[in-house]
Structure 1
Amino acid sequence: MDAATRSAPASWAVVLNPSKFDDPARVRDDVARLCGDHGWPEPTWYETTVEDPGEGQAREAVEAGAELVCPLGGDGTVRAVASGLLGSGLPMGLLPGGTGNLLARNLSLPVDDLDAALAVAMTGSDLAVDVGEVVWDDEEPAVFLVAAGMGLDAEMMAAVDPRLKKRVGWLAYALSGVGALFRLGFGVRVRADRQRAVSQHARTVMVANCGELAGGLQLIPDARVDDGLLDTILATPRSISAWVAIALHVLSVHRRGHPSLVHLTSERVDIVTKAPVEAQLDGDAVGRRTRMSCSVRPAALTVRVAPQGAD
């Protein structure tokens, strides 16, 4: 349906992570007020729990007849709700509620304006996006929407102070990463599709479904969330000067490349480390792992986005 003629859904749901808000009741009131202002129906509310961070609630909303399901929390809540919506065909609307809002940023959606985000969720266009799937060691598969990684990025997530993160946002990760820069790397072997395996002493390896990270950092400008591919970045700096060179490369407009930064594109990638390494999934630390096998599920999730040409 054309976004210009799309009407608000008759029934929709919000999966709220109450731990992300000082006053969850006020958040509900704000959503109700905005819906009233625009003549939209109020949602059915579901709250996440420690035991179920959103997947079960999303499935419950689907079974109850919701036409749209919106996570309202951090990137972990978005990932969990997406897991519950896979295979349903129902769209997911992204409401700002976390520190990163990484998928929303990659889709150029509002991340600091609840009214604007609601407008997109209720009346925007539908976009089929890829979903990454990862198997850690011998565990059950998990999905990711932004990136899965091992090494420096995961160490930053694991070491970040939650209270500082709440106060200063993504800068808390930057502060956490200062100390992590000086730690030793790890031996890793990376094989992307049928390409020749790459064996390196790395500092971090990241498998990305899209290219923008916290703080607006464009790690992989050419990565697209709907291209049916995963982008793997392997950073192998041996000195502070190499880190500086990588930083300049990432910040550069022209991207001439750097020998300490390997970029692979594939539908599947298998990563094995010589010893357990800190791992992360869409910005959430998941502990130490030695194997990471990732594959892409093309166009597996529908997300509500701004109409093409909209401001």
Structure 2
Amino acid sequence: MRKKVAFLINPSKRDQLNAYVNWVKSRVEMDLAIFDEKWPNSLAPYDEVWVMGGDGTFNYFVNRYPACSLPIGLFKGGTGNDFYWKLFGDISREMHLLAILEAKVESVDAGQVNEMLFLNGVGIGIEGEVLRSMEAIRYIKGGLGYYLAAIPALFRFKHYRISGLPVFLCMVFNSSRAGGGFHFFPMASIEDGELDMMVCKPLPVWKRLIYMPIIQAGKHVHLPFLNFSRIRQQTISCDRVLRAQVDGEVLESKTFEFQVLPAKFEFIVPINL
């Protein structure tokens, strides 16, 4: 019996991704149900689900189908593709499709902040401001777009307080990177049952600019103004309402309640992992 697969495409990028979708269809012998406008109410009729898009699309998927127990295959189709990279690295399109068809499945953690699930991570404060700026330059993909959005925010963002302590940046991640290649948590595992937390002390503007490329490369974990920890559950209370980015989506709050969801989803990964 042929496998039945729900293939969910980011509707806002349907035209851009159409050639990639057709390429996949021409190379598989499965019953592919393509959803590039409206996604199905239920995934129950299917054996697997494939999702094509970027980090925002994957975030939308896990929040729309939080109880999904099907094997999930991710296809790169966004601006950053950071969670895709965590699973597949920089392999070719052909090798990626081979991995999807081989269908080796691993249980992967997710995180939750307030009522939202996330796969990559959450940045509170300046990350939310960077995301707002990136909306105007989303056509510039990867780290360059993040740089162009981040630099103005580095100049204007003012620190905030968590439990009375001044903080420039607080991030809680499940995976390793965001922003199209900024390795905020190079040590992070998506299978350890924990989230990684980083708190940065207030910095003058010149230090913010100097350390930005060091953070991008993941060479910052021993810097004295950064504190790293691992958590399973944590409530972060800020002294004002802040904008946070959650896998490229916006969440505004004064209080952020985090918890890890161990082995929450089943993702298809390369056979050699």
The 5 A counterparts of 1:65-104 are 66-104=46-84
Mark the runs of 5 or more structure 1 residues left unpaired by the alignment. Answer: 1-7, 136-140, 190-197
Relative to structure 1, the CA distance from residue 220 to residue 200 in structure 2 (aligned partners, 3 Å threshold; closer, same or farther) is same
| Residue 205 (structure 2) aligned to one of 240, 253, 278 | 240
- Structure 2 CA distance for aligned equivalents of residues 28 and 222 of structure 1: 34
Return the letter of the residue paired with 1:18: P
| Residue 129 (structure 1) aligned to one of 108, 126, 137 | 108
Relative to structure 1, the CA distance from residue 245 to residue 260 in structure 2 (aligned partners, 3 Å threshold; closer, same or farther) is farther
- Percent identity for Structure 1 against Structure 2: 23
Relative to structure 1, the CA distance from residue 307 to residue 25 in structure 2 (aligned partners, 3 Å threshold; closer, same or farther) is closer
1:76-105 C-alpha deviation (Å, 9 max, x unpaired): 221222334544421110101111111111
Q: Which residue of 1 aligns with 2:130?
A: 156
Q: TM-score, normalised by structure 2?
A: 0.88
Task: State the shift of 1:236 in Å.
Answer: 2.0
- Structure 1 CA distance for aligned equivalents of residues 104 and 118 of structure 2: 22
The 5 A counterparts of 1:183-198 are 183-189=156-162
| Residue 243 (structure 2) aligned to one of 258, 262, 278 | 278
- Structure 2 CA distance for aligned equivalents of residues 292 and 41 of structure 1: 42
The 5 A counterparts of 1:1-311 are 10-35=3-28, 40-47=29-36, 57=40, 60=42, 62-64=43-45, 66-110=46-90, 113-135=92-114, 141-162=115-136, 164-189=137-162, 199-243=164-208, 246-247=211-212, 250=215, 257-286=222-251, 288-308=252-272
Matched position secondary structure for 1:94: strand
Matched position secondary structure for 1:293: strand
Contact kept? 2:183, 2:218, Cα under 8 Å: no
Task: State the shift of 1:119 in Å.
Answer: 2.0
Q: TM-score, normalised by structure 1?
A: 0.78
Count of matched residue positions in the alignment of Structure 1 and Structure 2? 273
Relative to structure 1, the CA distance from residue 109 to residue 121 in structure 2 (aligned partners, 3 Å threshold; closer, same or farther) is farther
1:209-228 C-alpha deviation (Å, 9 max, x unpaired): 01222343222121101111
Contact kept? 2:154, 2:209, Cα under 8 Å: no
Task: State the shift of 1:249 in Å.
Answer: 5.5
Contact kept? 2:72, 2:267, Cα under 8 Å: yes
Contact kept? 2:186, 2:218, Cα under 8 Å: no
Relative to structure 1, the CA distance from residue 165 to residue 23 in structure 2 (aligned partners, 3 Å threshold; closer, same or farther) is closer
Relative to structure 1, the CA distance from residue 122 to residue 24 in structure 2 (aligned partners, 3 Å threshold; closer, same or farther) is same
- Structure 2 CA distance for aligned equivalents of residues 307 and 179 of structure 1: 42
Task: State the shift of 1:199 in Å.
Answer: 4.0
- Structure 1 CA distance for aligned equivalents of residues 190 and 9 of structure 2: 25
Deviates most, 114-123 or 173-182 = 114-123
Task: State the shift of 1:259 in Å.
Answer: 2.9
1:149-185 C-alpha deviation (Å, 9 max, x unpaired): 21111111111144x3224444212101110001242
Contact kept? 1:131, 1:144, Cα under 8 Å: yes
Task: State the shift of 1:301 in Å.
Answer: 0.6
Choose 1 or 2 for highest CA Rg: 1
Deviates most, 78-87 or 209-218 = 78-87
- Structure 2 CA distance for aligned equivalents of residues 124 and 100 of structure 1: 24
